[in-house]
Amino acid sequence: MCFMRIERDIIKTFKQWKSSPNRQPALVLGARQIGKTWAMETFGRECYDYCVKFDFDRQPELKSIFKITKEPARLLTELALYSEHPILPGKTLIIFDEIQECEEALNSLKYFSEDAPQYHIIAAGSLLGVAVRKRRMTVPVGKVNVIRMYPVTFKEFLLSSDVKTYKYVDSLEEIRHLPEIILNKLRSEYRRYQICGGMPRSVVSLLENQGMATVEQVLQDILDLYELDFARYAEPREIPRIHAIWHSLPSQLSKENRKFVYKVIKTGARSKDYEDALMWLEEAGMIHRVYNISKPGMPLTAYQHTDAFKIYACDCGLLRHLAHVPASILTDPIANYTEFKGAIAENAVLQSLLPISAGFCPSYWTSAATAEVEFVIQHNEDVIPIEVKAETNISGNSLSIYNNKYHPRLRVRFSMQNLQYNGGLLSCPSPLAGWLHNLIAKLP
C-alpha cells in the first residue's frame, strides 16, 4: 500500500548532523510510532549513495558479532556479510535499529566515534531510555550526538494539508493581522490536527480522508501497543502504577488547576510509590513533565519545584482518544468540555514548542491561588511567559499579574485570535506556535 509522504523537519536535522565537522554516531530518541525508522531510512536514501540497516530485533544473529569484538574494522567486515550494499566511509549510511536489543552494539558507538569517525552511523530503538535503565546498560556519553525526535508537528501537518497557507505563514516579514481567509484556514487545519494528533499513521489516515473511524482505530492501535509495552519493558510491580498514571492523564488535565495530584490516581497514593512509574513514562517519551517555578529567573531549572508539576501526553491526538473525547468537540467552537479543550490546546502548543526548545521542556508559573501562566520558556537572554487559550475568549488576568510582578520584555498569548503585537504582548494564533522564534525575531 502506498501512503502519502509527510515532510519531516527531522530530515533537516539529520542533514545538519551529516555535514557537522564534530559529527559522531547519532542516537535518535523519541516515543514509539513517531516514525524514527522511516526518517532514518528516508535520510539514507536521499543523502547517501547507499543505506544499510541492521535491525537487532528482527536479526538477533547480529548480536553475536558485537559480542566477539569491539574493533570497528572487524565489525564492519562481519556486518558486510549481511548487507547487499557496500559499506563505504561517507557514502553509506549505517542504521542500527532497535539497538536496545544489543548492549554491545550500543557500546560500539564509542569505538566508532574514536577509531572510525569516517563512517556515518545513526541508531535508534524502541523505549531506549527505559531499556537502558532497566538493564543498567552503559550509554557512551560524550561519544554520540543525541537527536530528539517528536511526533508530527502542526507545521509539518500544514505543509502536507495546505501548502499555500503554509508558505504564506512561513514567509511572514512582519507582525501584522493575517487576512481572514488565512486565519480561518489555520483555525480549520489546527482543529483537524488536534483531532488526529501527530502520530504519522493517524495523520496520513486523516489527510487521505480515510474516515474518522480509521483515524480512531489507528489511535487505539497505538494506545494498545503502548499498553503492551508496559508489560514487556516495565518491572512487574511497576506495571499497574504505570497503567494508573497513564490512564489518569485525562482526569489530571481536566481540572482547572492542572497540577499533577497523586490522589487522582488512587486515594492515599504517595509520590514515593509512583516516582519510578512517572520516570518510566518519561523515559518512554510518552509524557512530558512541566515543572512549576518559584520565579522566572535564569536558568529556569534553578527555580523549579521538583515536587510540583503538570504532565502532558506526547501527543494531543492520543490524549483526546485516551479521554474518549469525540472529534466533534474540537470542531465545534461552542461545544462543552471547556476544561478539556483547554488541556488539548495546551498539549498541542507544548508539542509545537518542544522541537524548537533545544531539548528543554518549558516550565510553568503560579502565584498562590490567584494566577497561573501555562508555560515559561528561555529564549536567548529572555524569560518569556506564555498563556494558552483554547478559542478566542482571552479573559483572565494571570498574564497581567505576572507582568505587573516581573515586567518581562516580552509576553506571549496563544489563542484563536489574530496575530498582533502591542505593548510587549505578542498575541499569536495557536497554529503559529511552531513559528514562535521566527515571529520573535521580527518584533520591533
**3-class secondary-structure state, position 368:** coil
Domain of 230 in residue numbering reads as 154-441
Domain C-terminal end among 97, 126, 148? 148
8-54, pLDDT tens digit by residue?
Answer: 999 999 999 999 999 999 999 999 999 999 999 999 999 999 999 99
DSSP bridge partners of 288: 312
Report the distance separating Cα 173 and Cα 320, nearest Å.
35
Q: Are 31 and 111 members of one domain?
A: yes
**Residue 91: which CATH number?**
3.40.50.300
Of residues 332 and 300, more confidently modeled: 300
132-167, pLDDT tens digit by residue?
Answer: 777 777 778 889 999 999 999 999 999 999 999 999
206-247, pLDDT tens digit by residue?
Answer: 999 999 999 999 999 999 999 999 988 888 999 999 999 999
This model's pTM is above 0.85? yes
Q: Are 317 and 357 members of one domain?
A: yes
pLDDT on residue 341 = 87
Q: Are 149 and 29 in contact (CB under 8 A)?
A: yes
- Would you state the cell numbers that stand for residue 132, as one nine-digit string? 537502558
Residue 4 within any structural domain of the chain: no
Domain C-terminal end among 99, 131, 148? 148
Long-range (24+ apart) CB contacts under 8 A made by 326-334 are 327/195, 327/212, 327/215, 327/216, 330/191, 330/194, 330/195, 331/191, 331/192, 331/195, 333/391, 333/392, 333/416
Residue 127 within any structural domain of the chain: yes
Q: Are 106 and 174 members of one domain?
A: no
Structural domains of the chain, count: 2
Domain C-terminal end among 133, 148, 163? 148
Residue 255 within any structural domain of the chain: yes
